[in-house]
Amino acid sequence: MPLLEENLVIRFLFVFLLSVLLIKIWKLIAWNIQLVDKPNARKIHTSAVPLVGGIVVYLSIFVTALIVGRNSIELYCYLAAAGALVITGAFDDKYDISAKLRLFIEFVAAGLMIFGAGIYVDNLGNLFGLGDVVLPAFVAVPFTILAVAGYINAVNMADGLDGMAASLGIMTIVTLMILVNGKQAFAIPSVTLAAALMGFLVYNLQIVRGLRKVFMGDAGSMLLGFTFVWLVIDFSQSHGTSTALFSPVTALFVLGLPLVDMLATLARRIKKGQNPMKPDKTHVHHILLHAGYTPRQTLAIIIIIGALFHALGMVLHFTGASDLVQLIAFIVVCGLYYEAVLHAFSVSRIIQNFRGKREPARKGKQYTQHGHSKKKFAEHGTAEHLTHQPK
């Protein structure tokens, strides 16, 4: 269908409507097979919610690819790897599979990207002003695998509030579009992904009154993490006939807030002697919610923070800042963010004082080391808006 392939407006509308329709269908399937996020002592929401967002986003991409019929080894590898991750995420949503199995599938997906599509990181850029840091193959392959798995889990960590992962994902798409100057080869698939995410947000944020909420689920966060790390690596590396469209350091800014949040959170947990993978509630949305912002206000603030971070990366890129300057800027941002999550309770108090609102006195450890109870979150009106047990 040439019109669907070439006309971006028609493609957007087609995929958006397809996504909305598929969600209606998969909501029924989810209830029948009990693919729902049920409330329990560890969860925040108080009613079961279908976990179909990620499945529908993937199916929207898959169906559109079949209709358009543009075939390539790279496309086949992406669909196979992403499909494996979505299935794994769906099983994890339903059965809570082991972290080792999840990690194994992430490594397999990375392997398809590297050895099937030929996309991997072997150039870190001119980090120290002495020329490009080029990685030999025996370093590039494991580095790429760890980078892919790391960012998949970064998005999974960031998916803690209604609309958060999808909104940050749409911002990443816009940022990539600007950096690659609307390159047609990227514009077409990016419109597909953005439209599918918009269809999901209609339900997830209940934009239309009467629609029942659905969650992205681990299937969705794994899909988004893999998709964006694939694109960022592809556009920041020169392989074969393709040339890098932006610096590997600029890629750090493109990956955005999920990457910064993961690095800062893991560093804080390690400093406190905690298991780096142990869930807690000191991500940025927890700080803002405790400071008294509503879930929608919190989402808006996070979008603004994410947009500023993307904007900084684009400014540095288009002004020709050296890789070293970009790296220093990224480290400074990570450092500031780290201090915020390290002193989450204090930051929350500062925000409350600034807004002229004070919460009843509580011990800081309730918010910096241990989870809220349902009752405490209900006091803030957040019970229905925190989408998962925090990572």
Let me know: does 91 contact 51? Beta carbons within 8 Å.
Answer: no
Average pLDDT (68-83) is 88
Which pLDDT score, from 0 to 100, does residue 39 have? 63
Q: Does 330 fall in a domain? A: yes
Which pLDDT score, from 0 to 100, does residue 367 have? 35
| 289 or 82, greater pLDDT | 82
Q: Does 389 fall in a domain? A: no
Please tell me the total count of domains within the chain.
1
Q: Kindly state the tokens that stand for 332.
A: 């400074």
Average pLDDT (262-275) is 81
Q: Does 391 fall in a domain? A: no
Which pLDDT score, from 0 to 100, does residue 385 have? 52
pTM confidence score = 0.86
Give, to the nearest 10 degrees, the angle between helix 217-236 and helix 248-271.
130
Q: Binning pLDDT at 50, 70 and 90, where does residue 128 land?
A: confident
Model pLDDT for residues 306-362, shown as the tens digit of each residue: 999 999 999 999 999 999 999 999 999 999 888 887 777 777 778 777 776 655 444
Q: Does 79 fall in a domain? A: yes
Q: Does 386 fall in a domain? A: no
In this model, does residue 276 exceed pLDDT 80? no
In this model, does residue 46 exceed pLDDT 80? no
- Scanning 205-247, the segments in alpha helix (DSSP H) are 217-236
Please state whether 279 falls in left (phi above 0), alpha (psi between -120 and 50) or beta: beta
Model pLDDT for residues 153-209, shown as the tens digit of each residue: 999 888 878 889 999 999 999 999 999 886 766 777 888 999 999 999 999 988 887
Model pLDDT for residues 357-371, shown as the tens digit of each residue: 655 444 433 333 333
| Residue-range definition of the domain harbouring residue 311 | 2-379
**Quick one: which of 181, 191, 171 has its CA closest to 6?**
191
Rounded to whole angstroms, the Cα distance separating 13 from 208 reads 17
Q: Does 89 fall in a domain? A: yes
**Quick one: which of 193, 203, 226 has its CA closest to 61?**
193
CB atoms closer than 10 angstroms to residue 84? 17
In this model, does residue 279 exceed pLDDT 90? no
Which pLDDT score, from 0 to 100, does residue 372 have? 37
Rounded to whole angstroms, the Cα distance separating 286 from 44 reads 12
Rounded to whole angstroms, the Cα distance separating 117 from 191 reads 22
Q: Binning pLDDT at 50, 70 and 90, where does residue 283 land?
A: confident
Which pLDDT score, from 0 to 100, does residue 131 have? 86
The DSSP symbol for 37 reads E
Q: Does 256 fall in a domain? A: yes
Which pLDDT score, from 0 to 100, does residue 269 have? 79
Q: Binning pLDDT at 50, 70 and 90, where does residue 278 land?
A: low
Which pLDDT score, from 0 to 100, does residue 387 have? 55
Rounded to whole angstroms, the Cα distance separating 293 from 161 reads 13
Q: Does 384 fall in a domain? A: no
| 129 or 280, greater pLDDT | 129
Encoded amino acid at 259, one letter: L
- Give the dihedral sign, CA 210/215/219/224: positive
Summary mean pLDDT of the chain: 83
Question: CB under 8 Å to 232, separation ≥6 — which residues?
Answer: 176, 251, 254, 255
Which pLDDT score, from 0 to 100, does residue 363 have? 41
